[in-house]
């Protein structure tokens, strides 16, 4: 009784009345089985058919409720699986991308190693001749182009120039017996050959990493997620090597 006499704040009165009206309307729209049987008799429908119809409708309602529960569970399961798949796939993308970056770093190490040989080639040339300014300039320009390159595409273009410069130097040496007999040049030849071998190995590993990464993000349905997350295919590194 005390609860009924308790004051109700004015600001919630409209909401209370609205809910009460809706509940009353729902209550007033319900019928008992006897009322339905009476209504059926007026339509000359036997009582047993009314009762049978009530059972069938109630059974159908229970079945629909169960179906809705199953659909809700299935939907929640699909969302959970999709979330897990998205996380796993994203981690796979990131792992492959990290492998590409790591392998490219190894390629760059060997490219840098070869570019660092150029000052030695310049010193050898200057030590044995004072007239081959063209070779010296070509070697220096190729190294500078490599040092200024940033992206794999720019590096590949710069490496082409380094290759040309080293090949040009080796052609010059082939016609210069004095240089061929130089121990310093012989040592450089070994360093060039060793660097080429290491570079070939690292370039192969890098291209393998790129192939695995590109295949991972291009396969359906991975491609849909990759596009949405900004993962893009990476170029292969197909640099030519210097002639032995």
In DSSP notation, 2-71 reads HHHHS---GGGHHHHHHHHHHHHHHHHT---HHHHHHHHHHTT--HHHHHHHHHHHHHHHHHHHHHHHHH
Q: What is the pLDDT averaged over residues 59-79?
A: 88
Question: Which span out of 143-157, 178-192, 200-214 was modeled with the highest average pLDDT?
Answer: 200-214
Say if residue 209's pLDDT is above 90: yes
Q: How far apart are CA 102 and CA 108, in angstroms?
A: 10
**CA Rg value for the chain:** 41
Res 188 pLDDT > 90: no
Highest mean pLDDT among 89-103, 104-118, 131-145: 89-103
- End-to-end CA distance of the chain, in Å? 105
Q: What is the mean pLDDT of the chain?
A: 79
Q: What pLDDT is attached to residue 159?
A: 82
Helix (H) or strand (E) segment spanning residue 199 = helix 183-218
| CA torsion, ordered 156, 162, 168, 169, to nearest 10 deg | -150
Mean pLDDT is highest, among 36-45, 57-66, 92-101, for 92-101
* Rounded-to-integer distance, Cα 165 and Cα 140, Å: 9
* The pLDDT of residue 241 is above 70: no
Specify the DSSP class assigned to residue 231. Answer: -
More confident residue, 63 or 177: 63
Predicted pLDDT at 196: 81
- pLDDT of res. 206: 92
| pLDDT at 82 (0 to 100) | 84
Sequential DSSP letters for 128-188: H-SS-HHHHHHHHHHHHHHHH--SHHHHHHHHHHHHHHHHHHHHHHHT-HHHHT-HHHHHH
The owner of tokens 């009530």 is: 54
pLDDT tens, residue by residue, 1-53: 455 556 667 777 677 777 777 776 666 566 677 766 676 676 677 777 767 77
Q: Which of 177, 178, 142, 176 is nearest to 157 (CA)?
A: 142
Give pLDDT tens digits for 115-153: 888 887 777 777 666 556 777 788 888 888 888 888 777
Distance between CA atoms of 45 and 22, rounded to whole angstroms?
A: 32
Q: Which two tokens stand for residue 110?
A: 């060997």
Q: What is the rounded average pLDDT of the residues 103-111?
A: 87
Q: How would you classify residue 36: left for phi > 0, otherwise alpha for psi between -120 and 50, otherwise beta?
A: alpha
- Tell me which residue of 27, 96, 31 sits closest to 57, measured CA to CA: 31
Instruction: Please state whether the predicted TM-score (pTM) of the whole model is above 0.85.
Output: no
pLDDT recorded at residue 214: 92
Task: Round to whole Å and give the CA distance between 179 and 123.
Answer: 12
């Amino acid at each position: 009784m005390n609860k009924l006499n308790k004051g109700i704040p004015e600001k919630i009165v409209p909401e209370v009345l609205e809910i009460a009206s809706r509940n009353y309307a729902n209550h007033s729209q319900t019928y008992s089985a006897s009322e339905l049987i009476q209504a059926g008799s007026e339509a000359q429908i036997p009582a047993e058919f009314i009762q049978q119809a009530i059972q069938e409708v109630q059974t159908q309602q229970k079945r629909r409720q169960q179906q809705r529960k199953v659909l809700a569970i299935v939907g929640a399961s699909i969302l959970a699986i999709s979330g897990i798949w998205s996380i796993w796939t994203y981690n796979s993308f990131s792992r492959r991308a990290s492998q590409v970056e790591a392998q490219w770093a190894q390629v760059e190490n060997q490219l840098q190693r070869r570019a660092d040989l150029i000052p030695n080639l310049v010193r050898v040339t200057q030590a044995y001749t004072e007239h081959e300014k063209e070779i010296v300039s070509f070697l220096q320009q190729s190294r500078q182009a490599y040092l200024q390159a940033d992206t794999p595409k720019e590096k590949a273009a710069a490496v082409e120039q380094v290759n040309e410069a080293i090949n040009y130097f080796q052609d010059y040496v082939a016609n210069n017996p004095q240089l061929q007999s130089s121990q310093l040049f012989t040592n450089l030849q070994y360093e060039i050959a060793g660097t080429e071998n290491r570079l070939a190995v690292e370039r192969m590993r890098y291209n393998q990493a790129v192939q695995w990464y590109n295949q991972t993000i291009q396969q359906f349905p991975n491609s849909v997620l990759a596009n949405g997350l900004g993962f893009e295919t990476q170029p292969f590194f197909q640099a030519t090597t210097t002639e032995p």
